[in-house]
């Protein structure tokens, strides 16, 4: 994919969601991506790691991966696990 894409996160980002999340991100690699986190109700550490690794990969490609519309649950979980900065969720 060479253009821009939007990826909407599911409500539950648990262990079972990590592999599909990685696959969804891989499918849109190559362009800038907005990841919509409005629906997230729960996020576990593995999905945090997948998202953080994706942001790093996009930066290495000279592209942007931004988390937009982060729900309170997404922001809180990322902060609690020390990953808010890695997801670009800090001011």
- In the predicted structure, residue 1 carries a pLDDT above the cut 60: no
Determine the pLDDT at residue 4.
Answer: 85
Beta strands (DSSP E) in 5-86 are 5-8, 12-13, 33-36, 42-43, 65-68
Give domain limits for the chain. Answer: 5-83
**Span 6-62, pLDDT tens digits:** 999 999 999 999 999 999 999 999 999 999 999 999 999 999 999 999 999 999 999
Directed axis angle between helix 15-27 and helix 45-60, to 10°? 20
**The architecture CATH gives domain 5-83:** 2-Layer Sandwich (3.30)
CA distance 73 to 60: 28
In angstroms, what CA-CA distances link 71 with 4, 30, 52, 75? 22, 26, 17, 6
Is residue 91 scored above 70 in pLDDT? Answer: no
| Distance separating alpha carbons of residues 49 and 55, to the nearest angstrom | 10
């Amino acid at each position: 994919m060479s253009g821009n894409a939007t990826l909407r996160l599911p409500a539950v980002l648990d262990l079972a969601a990590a592999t599909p999340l990685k696959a969804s991100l891989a499918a849109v690699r190559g362009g800038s991506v907005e990841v919509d986190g409005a629906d997230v109700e729960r996020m576990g550490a593995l999905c945090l790691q997948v998202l953080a690794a994706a942001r790093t990969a996009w930066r290495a490609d000279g592209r942007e991966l931004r988390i937009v519309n982060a729900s309170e649950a997404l922001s809180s979980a990322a902060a609690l696990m020390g990953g808010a900065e890695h997801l670009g969720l800090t001011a």
